[in-house]
Structure 1
Amino acid sequence: MKTYQDFKFNEKTKEFIRLNGFVEPTPIQNAVIPMAIKGKDIVAISDTGTGKTHAFLIPLMERVDTSQQIVQAVITAPTRELAMQIFKNAKVMMEADPTLRVKLITGGIERSKMADSIKQQPHIVIGTPGRIKDLFLEQSVLRVDTASIYVVDEADMTLEYGFLDDVDAICGRMKDHLQMMAFSATIPNALKPFLKKYMSAPQTIHMKDAHASNPKIEHVLIPCKHKSYGETLLDIMPGFMPYVCLIFANTRDDAGEVAALLRKNGKTIVEIHGGLQARQRKQAMKQLESSERSYVVATDIAARGLDVEGITHVVSLGFPSELDFYIHRSGRTGRAGKEGTCFALYKESDEKAIRTLREKGIHFEHRNFKNGSWQELKPFGQKMITKNDVREKEIAKTLTRKNEKVKPGYKKKKAEMVKKIKQKERRDHIRNEIKEQRKERYKTAQRLKSKGIIE
């Protein structure tokens, strides 16, 4: 195993490593750093928590020439939280070399103030694609066309949330011989044309995700039945005591709705998603850093890259359309040799996703929390005996009863009995349907009242 002393770094890079307290590089750092320093194009497939941020910051520390007063490297992330996280790590670079200028470029700051703050061009730019594009192409105050290195962090999320066009617009105006490094948890097919356009013989580094098959992570399926994800979450919360619990919703609206429900029921939480205002997002980040909350409600994009320590439990409210994201969700716990639990709340519409994940090797327990205790349920997919099954068995017994003396008209009588049983089943089914519809209408009305839409 290499140590950082085995690399022939300059003194400023060595100081940067010393200030971080690093001794040994992580596997992705060990693979990326030598090639990045040589100027190779790189596609690095790695999950959050593997040390990928310093896998590109250390080569930048080594290569940036502060005697040149121009932008030399650009790093983009799909959200301001991710950009802030990278910038937080990059601040140590400026401690190691006071002549180095690193600038954070994101939304939430007035355009005029941002433009005034970069009259002297930074050496490294970190930010969101849209704001960098605005200052570069619209206002012409940020000269990123002088940069020879471009890092796309969380490339799959950049694609999924529609920011790849902004990255394309920026890169299209930069140097022809641009070194590009893309870091991503997955490489969707739709991302490949972009990488092919800007990369020349890229080196692909795929760090195997050990979290998917981590035996220390317990995956537990929780049926919602007729309840919402939020209501089911409230039901099971008394059944576990987390240090930090990360709760994933599939959309920002779902995250906001669940967060509101939890607060209404007296839970103190951190809420992080794209639907929040800049001030709210900054406040949420501060709460995370100071460990003021045990429960964090987030979307996949908001949680990606967030450095939250001590996550003991993950709750997945349903399953994401991209099932690899479920694996990344569950992989946020059970790290550093510790145990973790991932609760997956599911409805009937999630059953296909569950079967697919089982085929990928994930073993699910099947439980419910009721009357103050956890109850083991039949393994998922095992056929349950329903009322219809009982009815069919009774009919079959009636029609095939042995040693019964045949009486005149017995076939007609049995047919009438079967008809009555089926009619009763239909009536019961209709009654239950009407009850469920009333419950749903009542819940909808309560939600609309809480939002002030109706009185």
Structure 2
Amino acid sequence: MISKNFQRFELKPFLIEALDAQGFSMPTEIQERLIPAIANKRDVIGQSQTGTGKTLAFLLPMLNRIDPERAEVQAVITAPTRELASQLFQEVKKLLEFDQAGIQAKLLVGGTDRARTIESLKSQPQLVVGTAGRLADLVGEGALKVYTADMLVVDEADQMLDMGFIEEVDRVASRMAEQLQMMVFSATVPEKLQPFLKKYMQDPRHVHVEPKHVTAVKIEHRIVPLRHREKLSFIVELAQSLNPYLAIIFTNTKEQADEVADAMLAANLNVERLHGGLQPRQRKQVMKLVNDVKVQYLVATDLAARGIDVKGVSHIINYGLPQDLDFYIHRVGRTGRAGADGIAYTIYEEQDQNAVAKLQKRGIHFTFYDFRQNKWTKLDKAPLGVPGQRKPRRNKGEAPAESGVKPAQKRTGGKAVAKAKKVKPAYKKKARFKQEKEAKRQRRSAAKNKK
């Protein structure tokens, strides 16, 4: 029974009921290793990728510890984006479905009416989920009283760092209870994050969970060489040929995302864009269209799309490989979920050679395709310049093997003739030097004869 698998964590009955209702049968590795530590009020660092069950790893012990009799903030969860914060809040609501004690949870994100939010906080919730900026703003205003809270989760900490939100998290954490338990979850733990961690964490339990497979087993990774084609036109042709259920095209910058989306719109494709340059209302509208299955192509940047759970993604297209190759894993992880098949296409350019080699070392197997005249062709070998394909070696003076020419011959007019003698390097310079030396000798000889 499910209850037996999770009851050993001494969870309250309403949490066991919620887990049963959602069909969770066994704790994941990160849940097994972190739930007891969090329950014992220990600082933790959970390093794992999407899909390892990290959300329940912190939500279950946190909700288990909240005292519904205390009408004050007891736990804070912060996320880098509104979309991710909203997803976390939805998970909280699912776990509270059978709660009879009435634990109050509230979502606090930007893009909502600030005055109305402050008004609603006259009654303080026991659990708060929000974006770092809005939480710091409400704490600074005095509307959100976090000095009573002794549990803080920083989700997607590396993304929080990339987006410049760690200072806001610091402002919130500094106003919380002195005996603060901090739980940090992140795909990577960059060096620049260390000062923040050392400031608040005491001997944290660091659990790094590697997935059994780098990416889902049923994802096919295809490389398509750009060669000398115009990239924007090529991405449009490639996307059209796939006719996907839902494809996400990843770009490295919001400027690229706009260029690609505009080119696809010009080709009358059903496309939307998602990046940090959009207003909150626009991003919300885009996500609603995607979730309502009204979009066939979504052009997105890593920071905007990371942490967002979009169902039914059949294809991933990499307009360019990311600088941080962990982002490649996150990108392709959007497809091939729940045992479904998925295909990830990467447009390859010469500067991508090292990146592809590193991904291959991580265990990702690429197949090679070309797309010309609206037809897909599987290549037997990697295109030249792609790791795994070497130029054929031959001896000096030897013609290519496929030409049928013998090593010591070349063909002229259908007849075999002996190859030309090798010319030594700098022969012209040496010959000119000899001529000048001989001329000097003759001039000296002529001068002596006159005497």
Q: TM-score range by the shorter chain?
A: 0.7 to 0.9
Aligned residue among 112, 119, 123 for 1:120: 123
Aligned with 1:311: secondary structure? coil
* Amino acid corresponding to residue 113 of structure 1 in structure 2: R
Residues 149 and 180 of structure 1 are in contact (CA less than 8 Å); yes or no, is this contact kept in structure 2? yes
Greater Cα offset, 4-13 or 337-346? 4-13
Cα drift, residue 383 of structure 1: 5.4
- 2:135 is matched with 132
* Amino acid corresponding to residue 237 of structure 1 in structure 2: A
Alignment of structure 1 residues 1-400 onto 2, 5 Å: 3-97=5-99, 99-137=102-140, 139-212=141-214, 214-227=216-229, 229-377=231-379, 378-379=381-382, 380-381=386-387, 382=389
Larger Rg: 2
Residues 272 and 298 of structure 2 are in contact (CA less than 8 Å); yes or no, is this contact kept in structure 1? yes
Residues 4 and 22 of structure 1 are in contact (CA less than 8 Å); yes or no, is this contact kept in structure 2? no
- 1:418 is matched with none
Aligned with 1:150: secondary structure? strand
Cα drift, residue 5 of structure 1: 4.0
Residues of 2 paired with 1:90 and 1:214: CA distance? 27
Q: 1:279 to 1:44 in 2, by over 3 A?
A: same
Q: 1:291 to 1:26 in 2, by over 3 A?
A: farther
Instruction: Render the CA deviation track for 1:7-34: whole Å, top value 9, x for unaligned.
Output: 3222232333244343322332232222
Instruction: Render the CA deviation track for 1:145-182: whole Å, top value 9, x for unaligned.
Output: 21100001111101111111111122122222211111
Q: 1:281 to 1:402 in 2, by over 3 A?
A: same
Residues 211 and 327 of structure 1 are in contact (CA less than 8 Å); yes or no, is this contact kept in structure 2? no
Residues of 1 paired with 2:22 and 2:59: CA distance? 12
Instruction: Render the CA deviation track for 1:331-362: whole Å, top value 9, x for unaligned.
Output: 22233333321111122332232222223332
More helix by share: 1
Residues of 1 paired with 2:226 and 2:337: CA distance? 28
Residues of 1 paired with 2:104 and 2:21: CA distance? 17
Cα drift, residue 305 of structure 1: 1.6
Aligned with 1:3: secondary structure? helix
Aligned with 2:214: secondary structure? coil
Cα drift, residue 228 of structure 1: 5.0
Q: 1:348 to 1:197 in 2, by over 3 A?
A: same
Aligned with 1:96: secondary structure? coil
Q: 1:160 to 1:369 in 2, by over 3 A?
A: same
Q: How many residues align?
A: 403
Q: Which runs of 4+ in 1 moved over 6 A?
A: none
Q: 1:224 to 1:16 in 2, by over 3 A?
A: same
Greater Cα offset, 77-86 or 41-50? 41-50
Residues of 2 paired with 1:7 and 1:78: CA distance? 29
Greater Cα offset, 21-30 or 123-132? 21-30
Residues 18 and 94 of structure 2 are in contact (CA less than 8 Å); yes or no, is this contact kept in structure 1? yes
Aligned with 1:345: secondary structure? strand
* Amino acid corresponding to residue 330 of structure 1 in structure 2: V
Over aligned residue pairs, what C-alpha RMSD do you find? 3.0
* Amino acid corresponding to residue 128 of structure 2 in structure 1: V
Q: 1:134 to 1:227 in 2, by over 3 A?
A: farther
- 1:419 is matched with none
Residues 47 and 185 of structure 1 are in contact (CA less than 8 Å); yes or no, is this contact kept in structure 2? yes
Residues 49 and 305 of structure 1 are in contact (CA less than 8 Å); yes or no, is this contact kept in structure 2? no
Residues of 1 paired with 2:99 and 2:230: CA distance? 53
Residues of 1 paired with 2:272 and 2:151: CA distance? 35
Residues 237 and 374 of structure 2 are in contact (CA less than 8 Å); yes or no, is this contact kept in structure 1? no
Residues 19 and 95 of structure 2 are in contact (CA less than 8 Å); yes or no, is this contact kept in structure 1? no
Q: 1:362 to 1:17 in 2, by over 3 A?
A: closer
* Amino acid corresponding to residue 138 of structure 2 in structure 1: L
Residues of 2 paired with 1:228 and 1:23: CA distance? 50
Residues of 1 paired with 2:5 and 2:232: CA distance? 47
Aligned with 2:176: secondary structure? coil
Residues of 1 paired with 2:77 and 2:377: CA distance? 48
Residues of 2 paired with 1:118 and 1:223: CA distance? 55
Residues 212 and 331 of structure 1 are in contact (CA less than 8 Å); yes or no, is this contact kept in structure 2? no
Runs (5+) with no aligned partner, structure 1 = 416-455
